[in-house]
Amino acid sequence: MVALCIANSNMAFLLERLQQYGDVHGPVRGDDGVVRFAALTPGVLPDLSAVRTLLSPKKYLLHPLETILTYTELSGYQVPLEEPRHLILFGLHPCDLAGISYLDRIFLGDDPDPLYATRRSALTLIGVTCSPDEFCSCQISPSPLEAASDMFLSSVDDGFAVTSTSSRGAELLAGVKELLVERDGDLPEDTRFFFGRATSIQERPDPDPALPEWQEYAEHCLGCGACSLCCPTCSCFDVLEFGALDGGSAERVRRWDNCLFKSHAQVAGGMSFRKNRAERFRYRYHHKYRGFGPLQGIPACVGCGRCRVACPTGLDLRPLAEQLEGGGS
Amino acid sequence: MRKLRLAIAGLTACSGCQLSLLNCEDELPALMAQFEFHFFPLACSPAVLEGEYDAAIVEGCLSMPHEKELLHELRKRSRYLIALGTCAAWGGVTALRNGEDRELMRQQVYGQSPVAVETFDPLPLGSLVLVDAAVTGCPPEKEELLKLLAGLTQGALPVENDYPVCTECRMRENLCLLTERDMLCLGPLTLGGCHARCPTLSASCEGCRGPVPEANVKEYLALCAKTGRDEEAVLGRLHRFWPGWVL
Amino acid sequence: MNNSLPLPATVLAIRSLSVDTSLITLRTESNHPVSAAFLPGQFLELSLPGFGEVPISYCGLPSSDGAVELCIRHVGHVTTPLKDAHPGDVLAVRGPFGRGFPLSTYFGQALLLIAGGLGLAPLRSLLLALLKQRDSFGRIIVLYGARETGALLFADELLEMKKRGGIELQLAVDHHDQCLDGPPGCRVALLPALLDQLAVDPERTFASICGPPVVYPYLVSGLRQLGLGNVQIHLSLERRMKCGIGRCGHCAVGNRLCCIDGPVFSAEELAGIEGGFV
Amino acid sequence: MSNLRKLDMLTRVEGHGSVELIRDGERVVDARLNLFESPRLFEALLVGRRFDEIPDIACRICSICSTVHKVAALQGVEQALGISISRQTGLLRELAVQGGQIESHALHIFCLALPDYLGVSGFQELAASVPEKLQMGLRIKKLGNQIQAIVGGRAIHPFNLLVGGLARVPDTGQLRFLSEELAAASTDVAASIAYIFNLNEILPTLALVPSCAVSGGPSLFGDCLVTSVGTSIPVKQSARWLNERIEGHTHAKVSHFDETTPFMVGPLARLLLSMPAEHVHRFTDRSIKSALKARVVELQLAVRRAQELIEYLVTDGLKNEPLSAVGHVQGEGAALVEAPRGVLLHSYRFNDRGICRAANIVTPTAINQGAIAVSLKALIATMDGAGYAQVKRSAEMLVRCYDPCISCAVH
Ligand SMILES: Cc1cc2nc3c(=O)[nH]c(=O)nc-3n(C[C@H](O)[C@H](O)[C@H](O)COP(=O)(O)OP(=O)(O)OC[C@H]3O[C@@H](n4cnc5c(N)ncnc54)[C@H](O)[C@@H]3O)c2cc1C
Ligand code: SF4
Ligand code: SF4
Ligand code: SF4
């Protein structure tokens, strides 16, 4: 088979060329050693060897804190119009691609979320091969979620083989063609292999609340929120409204939330449907490995390993999941 | 439209919370359009309480008898009483040695000379009167103070946060000082809302906003112990803004 | 359809029902689904500008003129200031959301409506719908309990329905002393105790319940003793909700989302689920 | 409410105090400043804390002066523990302190003092009567805060300043921004000088007590105290020399020269001790009523000095530096810095585990109490026959000339 390849030495040119199609963001290692998705401006190259970024690319689609509605007495509630800026996310690992397809299922569809949909339609996804480390679990329990991208870079000696996987991808590929060389040889299998495979999980009884693990998690959890903030599929949000100083207008914001926080299931009068942290861990477990509502049966965990890396006390639901879910289907 | 009448008072404190208001240089005109700063001794004369107030915004903790009187008076006259800042909400830095011998402390400062000052261990406002809302921080964030005031113009009090500083720190994608730099960052135990001001500049959170609900002190201490920190020292550090920490 | 944007709704009338509860009638766009096409048990999201948005059950019947009745308990950040709403004030609504009571399944059946406190709000909507086609249903028994006499909502309305022979009614309050001047027939009893002396045809009866979550386990076991199966018992659940459309992640019950799979669930669906009846 | 009315608060100053008039029959014979601020016992609070906690706690003494308290505490701790800081750290700290100076002076001039001159109650009435002047003042004030926020991380209680250095060094872009703002502000500052010097006098000319300031002039830093009577006292001896005493009617200790002679610190004292040539002609009357003028002149000095500091920093090139190492854990040390209101001394002693065993903080308003008493006496003497209310008003305005900061004074 013939593959179109980009040499590592040509990467900067490729990025420069891509910039003609929109802002290009990718994993960048900061001075502090933290890898974050950030702008790949001329001179800033992506760190394609990094296993994971601190926050997942969901930050581009669902901002940590954003205004979802504005209110004025004259025009009532309005969705804030956002100029859709073309954004190319470069160097996404298959787990992050799967994470985006999970978010798509929640926020697109018949009744798409206006802000999400606007941003999503302006987004181009360029995936890249990765090599999982001991925190990754995509290889342990494959996900039914598709690792869908527009373009994909598969690692080959001193470069990447570039394939387009959508019409948008084909357009970009055509635009960067001169930078690519044809090479013979089969593409190596990559971690996309673990995604879009299992169709659905079988019905299982609810995890037993008496398992000692819940209490252990609860005792060690600092409630810092890191696990869900960096998770590519955690998308709980809180909604708040603030009146403005003019005494009449207001804005409504949504903010990333975490199911381990006290208020997550609290209702008026202080009553809570998940008073203790152990219950909340079961809730988290449910979401990550069983799925809710329309996504029932679709585990949300894409195996990126972020929560395990981020948790200051090293909490990890994975071993329990392997025990209860039987290592995937 | 009637302007809302405010009483802005300082008890035992550094005036930082009141100054935070005066530091809203850009917003002062808009604030003056909505509010009458009727009682505000720091910035306006004369200091006379008169009639009723839509809100009393009170800085500082209680540490002298006459402050209790003033607070009762403010409570009586005001629809809402708001604790502004960590001293008012939690006791703050002045409560650092609560529970120790006050006379001994007095002597450390004034020696044996008989200076007649009647003070007691600093207390937060809520220990004496009903507090309708609190904006914490030492000093409070301008943004939160302005949100409070904007809310008041529409009759709303702020909704409480329940997440720690870490949450906003991670949202900003900062390097974690606690786990990656072995610094004594109090982010996990401290109420969020400051957008992780300090860790964002690589300075440890010193806990200036008071405790977050459900703070897991035990686990935090265990984490510190793992890196060889002395529990006494960590607890000492925790007490900087709130004397009430318990295991 | 855009379910994310609240549409203006003008307060037509506000009437106090008890110390902490009011009936607010709003006028929205006429023939809009938010007022014209909902099922009893469904809810809408009501916005008070500057304060926020809360899920509120429909309390009346769909109408083509845009009128919506909501029964609101003033308990917190958004609902308390609604106490001071005045005719002419502009609020905002979006909906209808969720799955309501399965009216079509109820055809030809006897209905046992059990409400505790504010839980009467969605059941009033159901009751009005049943009475509109009174002949299509068997017995309609309403069991309604509240903390005290003053907290019984719509008592006059219920007594009137009873007088007209449309429904069988039992009222109860928790506290003895306040019951003295209660409406005729009001007993001092806890809600589940009202089931004790009840005789129903267990084959042909459905129960529809809405009330404080604490009584649910008792009501369900009481109904089971009457011979009702789990599929014949429908409960409306309350959960924290921030969007109403299955996104904010707060309201899951087991694997289901209260806002789209509920708020009305059958006891069958909730059986064995942690937190289902709590 | 009885006690409250008795409190009779002095307004438009930081903290809690009152001016009490002493009467003999109908005649007012004396006046004194009472500080009834709660003593928070900071010097005791600090005992038992580790050296690196000292500045974080000490800066909470006062918000208006928090940056300078922080810096004085840092330098005191560093003196005690043999920590030497880099030139960059020194420049940045001074920049922050100049920012504090700008903020504090602008606040005093345009919000706290100006109402006295225009006969209004406060900033709300200023907004109605002289809106552009208030706006101008607020612009300058905001710039002072921006400087403190960029260097210190926050306008009040700057957390970015640490023992041995900074948590994060601001970047060139931020400093350039400040530099541009400072350049733009010089017009406002010049206009402020013109405006303030043209205000009608509200107080009589009253003789001054001797002046005292830290040796460094407009840099606000220095290693000894200098006085208008020719003394020069190194920092090590200044605590003893400042000689704090406890006097009954105030919660703050009082300082006197040679046991008995009161002296004055603050903007006017600083200028009188190192007057820039261009301003000499403006301060010929040597009276406390010129304090406001001194402040507005200092505003200009601070703006210029801040620009200079930024120039040095940018020319040197900003770099992230590790915090300087601790020389020795045990030791004793003190530092002097000019706070907006005058000489500020922080001095500490640490044991062999770096734990604070003794703290001594001397603040400008505490020092100024003696001078204020002298001024009040002199004022009363010139107002013989005036009514109570009139004397009271003048006495309060006089006290405001010293811009007392009562939280600092009492701490
Ligand atoms: C399906 C459904 C139908 C409801 N129908 C009615 C009704 O007909 N009449 C009525 O008075 N109340 C009803 N409620 C409850 C009502 O939504 C809450 O009382 C209201 O959200 C409280 O908001 P608050 O801001 O006043 O209170 P706060 O306690 O200040 O609430 C803060 C936030 O918590 C959340 N929250 C608090 N309580 C609840 C709750 N019970 N349910 C969901 N979220 C909550 C909200 O997001 C709210 O914004 C219903 C709730 C649900 C889920
Ligand atoms: S990251 Fe760990 S400590 Fe933090 S909330 Fe998640 S589980 Fe708890
Ligand atoms: S640096 Fe501090 S606030 Fe930030 S995540 Fe770490 S512990 Fe939390
Ligand atoms: S990070 Fe901590 S110390 Fe800093 S402002 Fe926030 S709460 Fe205060």
pLDDT, tens only, C118-162: 999 999 999 999 999 988 988 999 999 988 888 889 988 988 888
How many other CB atoms sit within 10 Å of the CB of residue B102?
A: 16
In this model, does residue B241 exceed pLDDT 80? yes
How far apart are the C-alpha atoms of A98 and A196, rounded to whole Å?
8
Q: Clarify whether residues C88 and C116 are in a common domain.
A: no
The distance in angstroms from the start CA to the end CA of chain D is 26
In this model, does residue D11 exceed pLDDT 50? yes
Helix (H, G, I), strand (E, B) or coil at D336: strand
> Under a CB-based contact definition with an 8 Å cutoff, are residues A198 and A328 in contact?
yes
How far apart are the C-alpha atoms of A302 and A285, rounded to whole Å?
13
Q: Which domain holds residue A166?
A: 2-326
Looking at residue D93, its pLDDT comes to: 98
Q: Clarify whether residues B21 and B66 are in a common domain.
A: yes
CATH number at residue C120: 3.40.50.80
Cβ-defined contact of C50 to B154 (cutoff 8 Å): yes
What are the residue ranges of helices labelled H in C180-265?
216-226
Looking at residue D239, its pLDDT comes to: 80
Tokens for D328, please give them: 């020795």
Looking at residue D3, its pLDDT comes to: 46
* E strands in D102-223: 161-162, 165-166, 212-214
Closest CA to B89 of B153, B132, B141: B132
Q: Do chains D and C touch (3 or more CB pairs under 8 A)?
A: no
In this model, does residue D171 exceed pLDDT 60? yes
What are the residue ranges of helices labelled H in chain A?
11-18, 58-61, 94-107, 114-121, 167-175, 212-220, 226-230, 277-289, 306-310, 318-324
Angle between helices D364-382 and D388-401 (to 10 degrees): 150
Cβ-defined contact of C77 to B154 (cutoff 8 Å): no
Name residues whose C-beta falls within 8 Å of residue C66's C-beta, 6 or more positions apart in sequence. Answer: C27, C28, C29, C30, C31, C32, C35, C36
In this model, does residue D375 exceed pLDDT 70? yes
Closest CA to C6 of A106, A118, A239, A237: A239
Residue C130 lies in a domain: yes
Looking at residue D1, its pLDDT comes to: 39
Instruction: Burial-class residue C133 by CB neighbours within 10 Å (0-12, 13-18, 19+).
Output: exposed
In this model, does residue D30 exceed pLDDT 90? no
Residue B159 lies in a domain: no
Q: How many secondary structure helices (H) and strands (E) does chain A include? A: 10, 12
Average pLDDT of chain B, as a whole number: 93
In this model, does residue B76 exceed pLDDT 60? yes
In this model, does residue D5 exceed pLDDT 60? no
Name residues whose C-beta falls within 8 Å of residue D332's C-beta, 6 or more positions apart in sequence. Answer: D80, D347, D348, D349, D350
In this model, does residue B114 exceed pLDDT 70? no
pLDDT band at C1, cuts 50/70/90?
Answer: low
How far apart are the C-alpha atoms of C82 and C49, rounded to whole Å?
11
CA distance readout (Å), D180 to A258, B232, D183, D310:
43, 48, 5, 10
Residue nearest to atom 6 of ligand 1 (CA): C56
Residue B216 lies in a domain: yes
Beta pairing class for A65-72 and A151-156: unpaired
Q: Which domain holds residue B203?
A: 165-238
Alpha carbon A128 to its chain's center: 15
Tokens for D376, please give them: 């009040």
How far apart are the C-alpha atoms of C93 and C46, rounded to whole Å?
5
How far apart are the C-alpha atoms of A240 and A203, rounded to whole Å?
36
| In the block, residue with structure tokens 């002045």 | B94
Q: Work out the average pLDDT over D154-173.
A: 96
Of B153, B184, B216, which one is at a domain's C-terminal end?
Answer: B153
Q: Work out the average pLDDT over C42-62.
A: 96
Q: Work out the average pLDDT over C8-32.
A: 93
Q: Clarify whether residues C119 and C33 are in a common domain.
A: no
In this model, does residue C251 exceed pLDDT 50? yes
Q: Clarify whether residues C81 and C164 are in a common domain.
A: no
Q: Clarify whether residues C155 and C46 are in a common domain.
A: no
What's the farthest any 2 CA atoms get from each other in chain C?
52
For residue A227, the CA-to-ligand 2 centroid distance in Å is 5
Name residues whose C-beta falls within 8 Å of residue C108's C-beta, 6 or more positions apart in sequence. Answer: C136, C137, C138, C204
Q: Clarify whether residues B131 and B184 are in a common domain.
A: no
> Under a CB-based contact definition with an 8 Å cutoff, are residues C169 and C142 in contact?
yes
Residue B212 lies in a domain: yes
Q: Clarify whether residues C134 and C228 are in a common domain.
A: yes
**pLDDT tens per residue, range B119-174:** 899 999 999 999 999 999 999 999 999 999 999 999 999 998 999 999 999 999 99
**pLDDT tens per residue, range A2-41:** 788 898 888 999 999 999 999 999 999 999 999 999 999 9
Cβ-defined contact of A238 to C248 (cutoff 8 Å): yes
Of B153, B181, B205, which one is at a domain's C-terminal end?
Answer: B153
Q: How many secondary structure helices (H) and strands (E) does chain C include? A: 6, 15
User: Best mutation site among A135, A215, A224, A308 for ligand 2, i.e. most ligand atoms within 8 A of its Cβ?
Assistant: A224
Name residues whose C-beta falls within 8 Å of residue D182's C-beta, 6 or more positions apart in sequence. Answer: D143, D303, D306, D307, D310
DSSP codes of every residue in A188-256: PP-GGGGBS----PPP-PPPPTT-HHHHHHHHH-----HHHHH-SS---EEEEEEE-TTSS-EEEEEEE
> Under a CB-based contact definition with an 8 Å cutoff, are residues A240 and B147 in contact?
no
* Closest CA in chain C for residue A237: C248
Residue B160 lies in a domain: no
Phi, psi of D293 (to 5 degrees): -65, -40
Chain C residues in contact with chain B using a Cβ-Cβ cutoff of 8 Å = 49-52, 77, 81
Beta bridge partners of D155: none
**pLDDT tens per residue, range A290-299:** 888 888 888 8
Closest CA to B21 of B37, B5, B45, B33: B37
A185-194, B161-170, D216-225: which has the minimum mean pLDDT?
Answer: A185-194
Looking at residue A157, its pLDDT comes to: 82
Q: Please name which ligand lies nearest the alpha carbon of C40.
A: 1
> Under a CB-based contact definition with an 8 Å cutoff, are residues A238 and A68 in contact?
no
Q: Clarify whether residues B113 and B182 are in a common domain.
A: no
Q: Clarify whether residues B40 and B148 are in a common domain.
A: yes
Q: Clarify whether residues C66 and C168 are in a common domain.
A: no
Looking at residue A26, its pLDDT comes to: 96
pLDDT band at D128, cuts 50/70/90?
Answer: very high
In this model, does residue C180 exceed pLDDT 70? no
How far apart are the C-alpha atoms of B139 and D94, rounded to whole Å?
22
Q: Clarify whether residues C208 and C138 are in a common domain.
A: yes
For D259, which DSSP code? T
For D111, which DSSP code? I
Cβ-defined contact of C77 to B156 (cutoff 8 Å): yes
Q: Clarify whether residues B133 and B220 are in a common domain.
A: no
Looking at residue C90, its pLDDT comes to: 95
pLDDT band at C181, cuts 50/70/90?
Answer: low
Beta pairing class for C43-48 and C90-97: antiparallel
**ipTM surpassing 0.95, yes or no?**
no
Work out how many domains chain A is built from and give that number. 1
Helix (H, G, I), strand (E, B) or coil at D70: helix
| In the block, residue with structure tokens 């299998």 | A189
Question: Which atom, in ligand 1's list, is nearest to the CA of C21?
Answer: 11
Work out how many domains chain C is built from and give that number. 2
Q: Work out the average pLDDT over A195-219.
A: 80
Q: Clarify whether residues C130 and C249 are in a common domain.
A: yes
Residue B243 lies in a domain: no
Tokens for D115, please give them: 């109402």
A196-205, D226-235, D315-324, D374-383: which has the minimum mean pLDDT?
Answer: A196-205
Closest CA to C51 of D280, B103, A128, A251: A251
- Out of A111, A241, A267, the one facing C52 most closely (by C-beta) is A241
Name residues whose C-beta falls within 8 Å of residue D362's C-beta, 6 or more positions apart in sequence. Answer: D238, D239, D242, D244, D253, D255, D343, D344, D345
- The top-scoring range by mean pLDDT among B47-61, B104-118, C140-154 is B47-61
Average pLDDT of chain A, as a whole number: 89
Q: Clarify whether residues B82 and B113 are in a common domain.
A: yes
Q: Clarify whether residues C113 and C171 are in a common domain.
A: yes
Instruction: Burial-class residue A50 by CB neighbours within 10 Å (0-12, 13-18, 19+).
Output: middle
How far apart are the C-alpha atoms of A168 and A127, rounded to whole Å?
13
How far apart are the C-alpha atoms of A301 and A91, rounded to whole Å?
20
Annotate D11-56 with three-state secondary structure: CCCECCEEEEEEEECCEEEEEEEEECCCCCCHHHHHCCCEHHHHHH
CA atoms within 13 A on the CB side of D137: 27
Cβ-defined contact of B197 to D154 (cutoff 8 Å): yes
CB crowding B128-146: b at 16 or more within 10 Å, else e: ebebbbbbbbbbbbbebbb
Work out how many domains chain D is built from and give that number. 1
> Under a CB-based contact definition with an 8 Å cutoff, are residues C264 and C99 in contact?
yes
Q: Work out the average pLDDT over C27-53.
A: 94
Residues of D with Cβ-Cβ distance to B203 under 8 angstroms: 153, 159-160, 162, 167-168
Work out how many domains chain B is built from and give that number. 2
Residues of C with Cβ-Cβ distance to A273 under 8 angstroms: 213, 239-240, 275, 278
Looking at residue D7, its pLDDT comes to: 60
Helix (H, G, I), strand (E, B) or coil at D191: helix
Subunits next to B (3 or more Cβ pairs <8 Å) are A, C, D
pLDDT band at C213, cuts 50/70/90?
Answer: confident
**pLDDT tens per residue, range A244-259:** 999 889 999 999 999 9
CATH number at residue D128: 1.10.645.10
Q: Clarify whether residues C211 and C90 are in a common domain.
A: no
Residue B156 contacts C, CB cutoff 8 Å = yes
Q: Work out the average pLDDT over B198-226.
A: 95
Q: Clarify whether residues C262 and C236 are in a common domain.
A: yes
pLDDT band at A328, cuts 50/70/90?
Answer: very low
Average pLDDT of chain D, as a whole number: 91
Percentage of chain D with pLDDT > 70? 94
Q: Is the peptide bond before B122 cis (omega within 30 degrees of 0)?
A: no
Residues of A with Cβ-Cβ distance to C248 under 8 angstroms: 236-239, 254, 257
pTM of the model: 0.92
Q: Clarify whether residues B171 and B125 are in a common domain.
A: no
Name residues whose C-beta falls within 8 Å of residue C118's C-beta, 6 or more positions apart in sequence. Answer: C21, C71, C73, C153
Q: Clarify whether residues B187 and B225 are in a common domain.
A: yes
Q: Work out the average pLDDT over B62-88.
A: 95
Q: Clarify whether residues C131 and C197 are in a common domain.
A: yes
> Under a CB-based contact definition with an 8 Å cutoff, are residues A130 and A228 in contact?
no
Percentage of chain C with pLDDT > 70? 97
Residues of C with Cβ-Cβ distance to A205 under 8 angstroms: 272
Closest CA to C54 of C81, C14, C29, C33: C81
In this model, does residue D252 exceed pLDDT 80? no
Looking at residue C143, its pLDDT comes to: 92
Percentage of chain D with pLDDT > 90? 66
Helix (H, G, I), strand (E, B) or coil at B211: strand
Q: Which domain holds residue D368?
A: 2-410
How far apart are the C-alpha atoms of C123 and C234, rounded to whole Å?
11
Subunits next to C (3 or more Cβ pairs <8 Å) are A, B
Q: Which domain holds residue C26?
A: 7-96
Looking at residue D242, its pLDDT comes to: 78
- Measure the CA dihedral B121/B125/B127/B130, to 10°: 170
CATH number at residue B14: 3.40.50.700
Q: Clarify whether residues B219 and B175 are in a common domain.
A: yes
Of C80, C96, C112, which one is at a domain's C-terminal end?
Answer: C96
Torsion B27-B29-B34-B40 (CA) sign: positive
Torsion A139-A142-A143-A147 (CA) sign: positive
In this model, does residue C277 exceed pLDDT 80? no
Q: Clarify whether residues B83 and B148 are in a common domain.
A: yes
In this model, does residue A308 exceed pLDDT 60? yes
